[in-house]
Amino acid sequence: MAQEVCCLKAQLKEKEKEIAALKKKLAQLEKSHPTVLELHDKVTPLTPLTSNPALSNEDIMRYSRQLLLPDLGVRGQLNLSKTSVLIVGCGGLGCPLAQYLAAAGIGRLGLLDYDEVELSNLHRQVLHGEENQGQAKALSAANAVKRLNSTVECIPYHLQLSSDNAVQLIQQYDIVADCSDNVPTRYLVNDACVLSGKPLVSASALRMEGQLTVYNYRGGPCYRCLYPLPPPPETVTNCSDGGVLGVVPGIMGCFQALEVLKIASGHGSSCGQQLVMFDAQDARFRSIKLRPKQPGCAVCGENPSVTQLVDYEAFCGSAATDKCLKLNLLSKDQRITVQDYKSIMDDAGPHLLLDVRPLVEVDICHLPSSLNIPLSSLQERKSEHLQLLQERISELKQQMAGDCRPPVYVICKQGNDSQKAVQVLDKMSGSEVDNIAVKDISGGLMAWAKRIDPTFPQY
CA-based torsion, 365, 371, 375, 377: positive or negative: positive
Smallest gap from Cβ 91 to another protein, in A, equals 5
The greatest distance separating any two alpha carbons of the chain, rounded to the nearest whole angstrom, comes to: 119
Q: Is 95 within any annotated ligand binding site? A: no
Residue span 184-223 as binding mask against another protein, x where in contact by CB under 8 A, dash where not: --x----------------xxxx--xxx------------
Reduced to 3 states, what is the DSSP secondary structure of residue 255?
A: helix
| β-bridge partners, 200 | 176, 215
Distance from C-alpha of 124 to C-alpha of 71, rounded to nearest angstrom: 30
Smallest gap from Cβ 160 to another protein, in A, equals 16
Residue 231: contacted member of Zn ion, another protein, none (CB under 5 to 8 Å, by partner type): another protein
Smallest gap from Cβ 211 to another protein, in A, equals 5
Contact between 422 and 334 under an 8 Å Cβ cutoff? The reply is yes
Instruction: Sort 413 into a burial class: Cβ within 10 Å, 0-12 / 13-18 / 19+.
Output: buried
Q: Is 435 within any annotated ligand binding site? A: no
For residue 316, indicate whether it is catalytic.
no
Short-list 87, 63, 58, CA closest to 76? 63
Cβ neighbors of 26 (< 8 A, separation 6 or more) are none
Determine the angle formed by the axes of helices 94-104 and 247-265, rounding to 10 degrees. Answer: 40
User: Which 317-336 positions form the footprint of another protein (CB under 8 A)?
Assistant: 322
Residue 134 or 242: the one with the smaller Cβ distance to another protein is 242
Short-list 140, 144, 132, 178, CA closest to 157? 140
Pick from 85, 93, 167, 421: which binds another protein (CB under 8 A)? 93
Residue 78 or 299: the one with the smaller Cβ distance to another protein is 299
Q: How many residues can be counted in the chain?
A: 459
Residue span 183-222 as binding mask against Zn ion, x where in contact by CB under 5 A, dash where not: ---------------------------------------x
Q: Interface with Zn ion includes 297 (CB under 5 A)?
A: yes
Pick from 249, 406, 415, 444: which binds another protein (CB under 8 A)? 249
Of residues 154, 193, 316, 412, which has the active-site annotation? 412
Residue 300: contacted member of another protein, Zn ion, none (CB under 5 to 8 Å, by partner type): Zn ion
For residue 324, indicate whether it is catalytic.
no
Pick from 40, 63, 81, 94: which binds another protein (CB under 8 A)? 94
Distance from C-alpha of 166 to C-alpha of 143, rounded to nearest angstrom: 24
Distance from C-alpha of 363 to C-alpha of 367, rounded to nearest angstrom: 11
User: Which 124-183 positions form the footprint of another protein (CB under 8 A)?
Assistant: 178-183
Torsion of CA 246, 251, 254, 255, to 10 degrees: -140
Distance from C-alpha of 205 to C-alpha of 212, rounded to nearest angstrom: 9
Residues in the interface with Zn ion (CB under 5 A) total 5
Binding residues for another protein, rule: CB under 8 A, are: 89, 91-94, 178-183, 186, 203-206, 209-211, 226-232, 235-239, 242, 244, 249, 275, 277, 279, 281, 286-291, 322
Binding residues for Zn ion, rule: CB under 5 A, are: 222, 224-225, 297, 300
Catalogue the active-site residues.
239, 412
Annotated binding site, which residues?
92, 113, 120-124, 137, 181-182, 222, 225, 297, 300
